[in-house]
Amino acid sequence: MSETIAKLHAEYAALTSRPDGRLNADQTTSLRYYRTDISREPHPTIRVAEWIKSLHDLETYVGAFARMPRENNRIDPNRISSHERQLAEWVRTQRKAFTQGRRCTYQQRRLASISGFSTAPLDDLWTSQLAKYEGFINANKRAPNSSIPDERTLAAWAAKQRLRHRTGRLNQSRVVRLELLSLWSWGSRLTGRATLPADLE
């Protein structure tokens, strides 16, 4: 058991001693999930029991493969087992419910304790790529060059942002974050303190 889960369980173990009349609705629901999670709920509802089972299945999968179940539609379906597909669908459902506020605090924190779980994985990936791009330009004082193999991935990512911007498919928050970089260009206009390689203009 991870330190995060142990701490979470300790908090809810302490909460079980509080009289029911002093618990709010979220705490009452959270305790049902907590007790089912540790096999201390005498008569869990089917809904709670199935959710905890799926949670444990996801934890077992992540523990075995060191990653979340794959959701990439471009992967050959024959390379993904039915079990992995079921888990990926369950994770998508949890993300949606999480962002809509349809999960109690214990469920939210329990999901967050699983390595790799994110309510917005694509946003996390974009932010990670932005950090790599920023690290590159800060270290090299220039933009990545697509003709250099080790820089090709970052150059392609930047080119994709420019294309999405030109076609109106890049949201404004990302536009702002890109323009805050010390070096950035949308193509015809330069933002920053240095000059971009010609192939990225």
pTM for the whole structure: 0.70
* pLDDT of res. 21: 80
Distance separating alpha carbons of residues 42 and 133, to the nearest angstrom: 53
Contact predicate 132/153, CB 8 Å: no
Q: List Cβ neighbours of 49 (8 Å cut-off, separation of 6 or more).
A: 36
Residue 150, both tokens: 């080790």
* pLDDT of res. 77: 67
> Domain ranges in the chain?
3-112, 121-200
Reported as a single tens digit per residue, the pLDDT across 49-101 is 999 999 999 999 999 999 999 877 666 767 889 999 999 999 999 999 988 99
Going 67 to 68 to 69 to 75, the CA torsion angle's sign is: negative
Reported as a single tens digit per residue, the pLDDT across 106-164 is 999 999 999 999 988 888 889 999 999 999 999 999 999 999 999 999 999 999 999 99
The answer, yes or no, to whether residue 199 has pLDDT greater than 70, is no
Q: List Cβ neighbours of 135 (8 Å cut-off, separation of 6 or more).
A: none
Instruction: Among 14-18, 20-24, 59-63, 197-201, name the one with the lowest average pLDDT.
Output: 197-201
Contact predicate 23/32, CB 8 Å: no
The position carrying tokens 């990545």 is 144
